[in-house]
A = this chain, B = another copy of it.
């Protein structure tokens, strides 16, 4: 499992706290006495896969180095409704000041992990993998892709720089599938595979002939998808995408594709309902 880069976590957490605290947590300052300690329980109000505990911990400890978090679950665990996720102990002001930002991270990341796990369950009987896309929240991509992994999914490229994916618009500009793939293969770093979008079997043949390593079947009818896989199996990696839902993902996986990419994992996952309650 690729862990989060701690330098990145620090940067994101600090920015989130600056956004929320600004000139100060006025309510807490005016109503909660200084130096009172408290213990809070982070609870799952609905069942789900937990993601982001390390980030939540960084939030509280950025507010006050002495707040401790005792995990009752760990990232990737499935917790039932009502289940305890962690115990937060320390200065009451610090816990109240950090609460919302910590939960905002936890809820979003756990929502993504949980949503991903539902897709993964649907296709567990196939060889296909669920993968994410670049349709992520600006600035939080690393957190969201980490949550996808925790939910049992895998990652597509992180950005424009660590994967080659030739789409319809690139093909139009290059002239043809063949021309686009050949141009890419001629100059691509050897560490990267070349993936190309195809819309019919002729383009698939062309892609394979030009040396594509993977093909993207975007919004392709199931039957055509099945034929494509049969035709190219063992020669290229197949990624299906476009309009994938919990209702149709099983059917798509059963066409034999290797990968199914789902933008909704990150752009439309609802937050998991998580709260912090002081004991």
User: Could you tell me which A residues sit within 8 Å of B by CB distance?
Assistant: 1-8, 12-34, 36, 38, 62-64, 92, 96-97, 100-101, 103-105, 107-108, 111, 131, 134-142, 145, 154-167, 169-174, 180, 183-184, 186-193, 195, 214, 237, 239, 258-259, 263-264, 267-268, 270-271, 278
The complex is assembled from copies of this chain, and their number is 6
CB-based contact A191/B193 at 8 Å: yes
CB-based contact A270/B271 at 8 Å: no
CB-based contact B14/A7 at 8 Å: yes
Q: In the complex, what residues of B have CB within 8 A of residue A264's CB?
A: 270-271
CB-based contact B184/A101 at 8 Å: no
Separation of A158 and B161 alpha carbons in the complex (Å): 9
Q: In the complex, what residues of B have CB within 8 A of residue A2's CB?
A: 23-26, 29-30
CB-based contact A173/B139 at 8 Å: no
Separation of A28 and B2 alpha carbons in the complex (Å): 8
With A15-B138, A27-B160 given, name 7 new contacts (CB 8 A).
A27-B165, A137-B137, A157-B191, A162-B191, A263-B271, A264-B270, A268-B271
CB-based contact A19/B141 at 8 Å: yes
Q: In the complex, what residues of B have CB within 8 A of residue A63's CB?
A: 6
Separation of A124 and B155 alpha carbons in the complex (Å): 38
Q: In the complex, what residues of B have CB within 8 A of residue A140's CB?
A: 137-139
CB-based contact B22/A22 at 8 Å: yes
* A–B Cβ pairs within 8 angstroms, 17 of them: A3-B34, A5-B18, A5-B21, A5-B22, A12-B139, A15-B138, A16-B138, A20-B141, A23-B142, A27-B170, A31-B173, A92-B173, A100-B135, A131-B189, A158-B162, A191-B214, A267-B270
